[in-house]
Structure 1
Amino acid sequence: MAETAVVAKHLLLAKFKEDLSPAAIDELIKGYASLVSLVPSLKTFHWGKDVSVENLHQGFTHVFETTFESVEGISEYLAHPAHVEFADIFLPALEKILIIDYKPTTA
């Protein structure tokens, strides 16, 4: 079976508001992860907390990476009603956010 090439990624760096409990953050992350089963163009979801020893994170504490088969898939995801509804809950919980969409390349 041929493996489908990944051609677009959506990288979101976040710092949650200080007054958010760990349980509330966990619920938001579960909601984010659930979008994979709701949005056809969204293929994978990965997340993690900053563990850098370089202290260059600029206050960002979490990273969220979503994978799409096309750049157009990111646009479909952004407009999808499930994403719009989730963003209305997720974004107000953030103190800082940085989003980068990119096409992975190899050297």
Structure 2
Amino acid sequence: MILHCVFLRLKASLPAADKQSIFEDLAKLQAIIPGIVSIKTGPNVSPEGLSGGFRDGFAVTFEDAAARDAYLAHPDHMAVGDRIVSACDGGLAGLLVFDLEV
């Protein structure tokens, strides 16, 4: 399985309703794109203070790397991804992607 972790520095001016809408649209991808085991979204709750300003994020668990790769190219993922990039402080500089094999 692949754990696809995405950490976000969302714009401070982003309304809470817009952030919620993005996370809801992410969650909907599980019913649309085959191979997604789970999608979890939410704020960083670490007490360590080492987040580098990445205050929100999500993690998608995939059955395998092929499912992850299909997700990356899927038009519905790309549409949500565009919304995420535009909501991040500095665009692409406001997100960090890290995949783990689990």
Instruction: Give TM-score scaled by structure 1 length.
Output: 0.85
- After the TM superposition, list the runs of 4 or more consecutive aligned residues in structure 1 that deviate by more than 6 angstroms: none
Aligned-partner Cα distance in 2 for 1:51–1:102: 20
**Please, which of 86, 91, 95 is the counterpart of residue 92 of structure 1?**
86
What value does the CA root-mean-square deviation take over the aligned residues? 1.1
Q: Distance in 2 between matches of 1:90 and 1:55?
A: 23
After superposition, the C-alpha distances for 1:30-85 in whole angstroms (9 at most, x for unaligned) are 11111111111222101221122211111011120101111111110000111112
The 5 A counterparts of 1:32-47 are 32-47=26-41
Aligned runs of 1:1-107 on 2, under 5 Å?
7-95=1-89, 96-104=94-102
Q: Distance in 2 between matches of 1:48 and 1:24?
A: 13
Task: Give 1 or 2: higher helix fraction.
Answer: 2
Structure 1 distance, partners of 2:83, 2:48, is 32
Query: d(CA) in 1 for partners of 2:53 and 2:35?
Result: 30
Identity %: 29
Map of 1:3 onto structure 2: none
Deviation at 1:90, TM superposition (A): 1.8
Higher radius of gyration, 1 or 2: 1
